[in-house]
């Protein structure tokens, strides 16, 4: 006789009412002040700096900000907040774009920026253990003399803990993968203040559930990441980088697709449309021709990067692109990639005083050209200024509409454009976000992408690990 399948929500715990009472906030603040002294800050300016600051989402500051210096101090903070039902929002460097660090229900922001220890570097095993507040640039500066580097590069000098929490990616992902591919283990503080380590330094394991992957990308809703064990790579002997103009979006995308499909091991391949190139020229003074371009980079030996660059130039020429200008001088490459990383600010240079609604989607690379071209036409039909840039080697691209927040007609056109962009990506078997994460802005698209049963499964996990809903509430899921 077969038994009926249990309902997914059968053992779900109830979710506490939010926000907490003023009395609970006051009690937590007093206790934190007693324990942390001047590392507990309640000034409005600091609290607003720990709400959302980079895009159009309304700033929702926490009630207090505390600066722990160890995993044990984070556990102390979380235990105190849990005992009063007060929300806890982890904060890295504040560079995320989807409202991840806002405090819609108030509570305590746990700023991990003073947790800066590089605990261990195991060069022979190509891994390291770092505290969550170490930034990617700080880590690579520390590793350089050992001939090692950490490749994940989202552009901003984000913290390693924040990059793990948002499953960050960036320009090197086409060759080195994303954070989910480069995190071996985590130490995290759970909603009751307990401390868990998810795995070991072994390169592979089949022992139990993959708790590491569960927490990577959970955006602080399942635990606060305090230590991260990372894969490292040897610094390549030679690096070449260059730019290549194209007559159209399709020609550039088709070149990127063929580059990947032919197995050319490109390290970075970035698309910038003509509008973004104009912004890059204004902001970074590059003087590039204002047409669609690919920025590319190759890693390997001197002979190998030369061969890769020449083969890429041939592929580009087959699609009407070129000439492909490439160089191996470090200063030339640095200037080029700094301009690409400054794309957010470069876009804003196109309309001084405007705000930006930066967003991203990702599709299978076989649908990339179609998706970007349709998006470009949609931007023009909507009457918007919205430069496009993307890590097109893995089908991920960004748009950056520049808008006047006080102009409701323009805002409505922009919201409609973003909604169509996401639905277009989902219809092409893509995702609503390739690397920005869900935060507050993309919550409404999760059911369309994953389906109701998968979304309920996520809720079961959240309720099980955080029954009071105090860990970064109001993000990813509506409970």
In tens, the pLDDT along 405-424 reads 999 999 999 999 999 999 99
| Residue 190 and residue 170 share a domain | yes
In a domain, 434, yes or no: yes
Q: 56 in a domain, yes or no?
A: no
122-180 pLDDT per residue, tens: 999 999 999 999 999 999 999 999 999 999 998 889 999 999 999 999 888 999 999 99
What phi, psi does 406 have (nearest 5°)? -85, -10
Q: Tens digit of pLDDT for each residue in 230-270?
A: 999 999 999 988 899 999 999 999 999 999 999 999 999 99
311 beta partners: none
What mean pLDDT is predicted for residues 51-76?
Answer: 92
Q: In this structure, is residue 184 part of a structural domain?
A: yes
- Is position 221 within any domain? yes
Q: What is the CATH number for 276?
A: 3.30.70.3450
Does residue 83 lie within any of the structural domains?
Answer: no
Residue 300 and residue 314 share a domain: yes
pLDDT attached to residue 351: 93
Q: Which of 297, 315, 346 is the last residue of a domain?
A: 346
Phi-psi region of 425 (alpha: psi -120 to 50; beta: other; left: phi over 0): alpha
* pLDDT, average across residues 9-26: 66
Q: pLDDT tens digit string along 77-136?
A: 999 999 999 999 999 999 988 999 999 999 999 999 999 999 999 999 999 999 999 999
Has residue 8 been placed in a domain? no
Residue 17 has pLDDT above 90, yes or no: no
- Minimal CA–CA distance to 300: which of 391, 232, 234, 392? 234
Domain-located, residue 129: yes
Q: Which of 346, 369, 394 is the last residue of a domain?
A: 346
* The pair of three-digit structure tokens given for residue 167, joined into one six-digit string: 């499953």
Question: DSSP code of 70?
Answer: S
Question: Tokens representing 120?
Answer: 């261990």
**Domain identity same for 242 and 210:** no
Give the 3-state secondary structure of residue 307.
helix
| C-alpha–C-alpha distance, residues 200 and 203, integer Å | 8
pLDDT in tens, 331-379: 878 888 888 888 888 888 899 989 888 899 999 999 999 999 999 999 9
Determine the distance from the C-alpha atom of residue 292 to the mean position of all C-alpha atoms in its chain, rounded to a whole number: 25
What are the residues facing 269 on neighbouring strands?
Answer: 296
pLDDT at 52: 82
pLDDT at 392: 87
Domain identity same for 395 and 338: no
CATH code, domain carrying 367: 3.30.70.2740
Q: Which domain holds residue 413?
A: 350-438
**Can you give the pLDDT at residue 479?**
86
382 inside domain = yes
Number of domains the chain is built from: 3
Residue keyed to tokens 């044990």: 72
Q: How far apart are CA 37 and CA 442, in angstroms?
A: 37
Verify that 201 and 131 share a domain, yes or no: yes
Same domain, 294 and 321: yes
Closest CA to 115 of 158, 64, 73: 73
Q: What is the DSSP-derived secondary structure letter of residue 109?
A: E
Out of 283-297, 327-341, 379-393, 405-419, pick the least confident.
Answer: 327-341
Among 298, 193, 259, 253, CA closest to 389: 253
Residue 194 sits in a domain whose CATH number is 3.30.465.10
b/e code 171-192 from CB counts within 10 Å (16+ = b): bbbbbbebbeebbbbbbbbbbe
Provide CB contacts within 8 A for 129, sequence distance 6+.
Answer: 118, 119, 120, 201, 227, 228, 229, 230
Q: Alpha carbon of 320 to those of 33, 250, 373: distances in Å? A: 64, 10, 17
């Amino acid at each position: 006789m077969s038994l009926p399948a249990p309902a997914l929500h059968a053992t779900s715990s109830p979710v506490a009412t939010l926000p907490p009472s003023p009395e609970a906030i006051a009690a937590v603040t007093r206790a934190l002040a007693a324990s942390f002294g001047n590392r507990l800050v309640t000034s409005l300016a600091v609290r607003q700096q720990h709400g959302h600051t980079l895009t159009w989402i309304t700033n929702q500051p926490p009630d207090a900000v505390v600066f722990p210096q160890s995993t044990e101090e984070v556990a102390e903070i979380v235990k105190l907040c849990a005992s009063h039902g007060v929300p806890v929002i982890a904060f890295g460097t504040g560079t995320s774009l989807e409202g991840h660090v806002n405090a819609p229900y108030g509570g305590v922001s746990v700023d991990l920026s003073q947790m800066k220890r590089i605990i261990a570097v195991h060069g022979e095993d190509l891994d390291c253990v770092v505290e969550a507040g170490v930034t990617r640039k700080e880590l690579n500066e520390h590793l350089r003399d050992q001939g090692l580097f950490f490749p994940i590069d989202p552009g901003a000098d984000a913290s390693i803990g924040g990059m793990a929490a948002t499953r960050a990616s960036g320009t090197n992902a086409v060759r080195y993968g994303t954070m989910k591919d480069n995190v071996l283990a985590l130490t995290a503080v759970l909603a009751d203040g307990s401390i868990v380590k998810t795995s070991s330094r072994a390169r592979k394991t089949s022992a139990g559930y993959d708790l590491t992957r569960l927490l990577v990308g959970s955006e602080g809703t399942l635990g606060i990441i305090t230590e991260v064990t990372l894969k490292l790579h040897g610094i390549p002997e030679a690096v070449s980088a260059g730019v290549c103009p194209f007559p159209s979006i399709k020609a550039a995308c088709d070149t990127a697709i063929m580059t990947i499909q032919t197995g050319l091991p490109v390290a970075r391949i970035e698309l910038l449309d003509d509008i973004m190139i104009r912004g890059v020229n204004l902001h970074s003074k590059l003087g590039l021709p204002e047409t669609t371009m690919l920025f590319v980079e190759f890693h390997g030996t001197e002979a190998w990067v030369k061969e890769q660059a020449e083969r890429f130039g041939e592929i580009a020429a087959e699609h009407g692109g070129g000439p492909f200008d490439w160089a191996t001088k470090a200063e030339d490459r640095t200037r080029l990639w700094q301009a690409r990383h400054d794309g957010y600010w470069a876009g804003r240079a196109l309309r001084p005083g405007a705000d930006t609604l930066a967003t991203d989607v990702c599709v299978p690379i076989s649908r990339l050209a179609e998706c970007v071209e349709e998006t470009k036409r949609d931007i023009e039909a909507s009457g918007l200024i919205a430069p496009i840039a993307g890590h097109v080697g893995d089908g991920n691209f960004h748009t950056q509409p520049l808008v006047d927040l006080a102009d409701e007609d323009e805002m409505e056109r922009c919201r409609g454009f973003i909604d169509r962009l996401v639905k277009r990506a989902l219809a092409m078997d893509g995702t609503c976000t390739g690397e920005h994460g869900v935060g507050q802005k993309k919550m409404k698209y999760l059911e369309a992408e994953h389906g109701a049963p998968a979304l309920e499964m996520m809720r079961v996990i959240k309720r099980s690990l955080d029954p009071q809903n105090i860990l970064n509430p109001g993000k990813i899921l509506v409970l």
